[in-house]
Amino acid sequence: MDANQILKEVNDIFIDVLDNEDIVLTRETTAKDIEEWDSLNHIQLVVAIEKHFKQRFTSSAIQSWKNVGEMCDAIADKQNQ
């Protein structure tokens, strides 16, 4: 799966979990850019992403992500392992 496809699928997850059809993620998007992306929703986003991509991350890996791009890179890295 290429980077654009991963970003698209992550975008769909954000729309569903945050219940906001207007979300358009870029690699530079952070929690500060999306009002609904609070700490509780962050948990739901991670759970949904782990389920969707059938991957598991460590808490330290998640905390290291600075933006959506790094999140997508981590997903891609696991897919390529």
Partner 1 sequence: MIKGQEFLHTFQVTDSVYNGFIEIFKDKNPLHTDEAFAQAKKFREKVMHGNILNGFLSYFIGECLPVKDVIIQTQEIKFALPVYLNDKLDFYARVEDVFESVNTIEFKFHFSNAENKKVAKGKIQIGII
* Residue from the set 21, 22, 24, 58 that interacts with partner 1 by CB under 8 A: 58
- How many of the chain's residues bind partner 1 (CB under 8 A)? 14
8 Å CB contact between 73 and 60: no
Smallest separation (angstroms) from partner 1 to the CB of 44? 7
DSSP string across 1-37: --HHHHHHHHHHHHHHHHT-TT----TT--GGG-TT-
Binding residue (CB under 8 A) for partner 1 from 40, 54, 80, 81: 40
Site for partner 1, rule CB under 8 A: 40, 42-44, 46-47, 50-51, 56-59, 61-62
